[in-house]
Amino acid sequence: MKHYQDKQEHAIGHFKLEIWPYLAPPDNRFEDMAALQYGADFRLSFMRQGIHADDIGLLQLIWPQTRIFPHTVVQAWNIDKRAPEDGRYLAAACLYGGDYRIGEHSAPLRDQPTRKLSPTECLLLDTPRELSNQFSKGAFTGSSRTAFANYVLNLSTGLIFPSGLSWEYQVRQEQGDFAMDVTPPTVVDLKKQDLHQQAIANFLGLDRSLAKTLIQR
């Protein structure tokens, strides 16, 4: 698959992350209009044991280098969603994805749904891309660190599970060669992540103190 690096798989707790790093460097890095496109196609799933009746879904926060949606703040944590979604509970407005499928631009994930909600398993599929033309004399001088954080939402209670994960990637250049470096996921606790709480609050139009009440105790 052109521009894709080897697939990576990471399992941490009840989460499983499958990543296809994507990097399209310029044909000539010395040209005035040189630009590179970078990102990843990935599938994240969460599986819980036992018998449950309440559906669960995934939230995604992103720290991007470019503006994705009108509300996006560059180099800050944002809910990765265009606009709040209608739901029974407030936090459900942050659910990632919707009732649509991945387009043909994605070789590994094309025509697959962007999310799954169910009592025992939830997942999301994403294909972020960013473009940067920050080159100087053939050297990429831009910042390409893009980070993600994911949490599980109980759709019956409207509460977010505190234990989530965070991971990131960025472009590395060695002379004329470019590569994507992926930092594997680590466990994060939403109760201790003030910036994640603030991103949720900003998206929902709340004070952070109210957003904290959406976290399951």
Q: What tens digit of pLDDT does each residue of 130-142 get? A: 999 999 999 999 9
* The pLDDT value given to residue 58: 98
Mean pLDDT calculated for residue range 202-211: 95
What is the C-alpha separation between 69 and 80, in angstroms, rounded?
Answer: 9
pTM of the entire structure? 0.95
**Tokens read off for 193:** 């992540």
What radius of gyration do the chain's Cα atoms show? 18
Assess whether pLDDT exceeds 90 at residue 90: no
List Cβ neighbours of 176 (8 Å cut-off, separation of 6 or more): 29, 138
* The pLDDT value given to residue 56: 97
**CA distances for 55 relative to 73, 107, 202, angstroms:** 30, 29, 25
Mean pLDDT calculated for residue range 59-88: 93
pLDDT per residue as tens digits for the range 154-181? 999 999 999 999 999 999 999 889 999 9
What is the C-alpha separation between 133 and 120, in angstroms, rounded?
Answer: 43
pLDDT per residue as tens digits for the range 48-73? 988 889 999 999 999 999 999 999 99
For 65-101, letters b (16+ CB in 10 Å) and e give beebeeeeeeeebbbbbeeeeeeeebbbbbbbbeeee
* The pLDDT value given to residue 86: 80
CB 202 within 8 A of CB 67: no
* The pLDDT value given to residue 85: 84
Assess whether pLDDT exceeds 90 at residue 129: yes
Assess whether pLDDT exceeds 90 at residue 192: yes
Q: Specify the DSSP element, H or E, that contains 187.
A: strand 177-189
CB 17 within 8 A of CB 167: yes
CB 117 within 8 A of CB 10: no
What is the C-alpha separation between 50 and 54, in angstroms, rounded?
Answer: 12
pLDDT per residue as tens digits for the range 97-121? 988 899 999 999 999 999 999 999 9
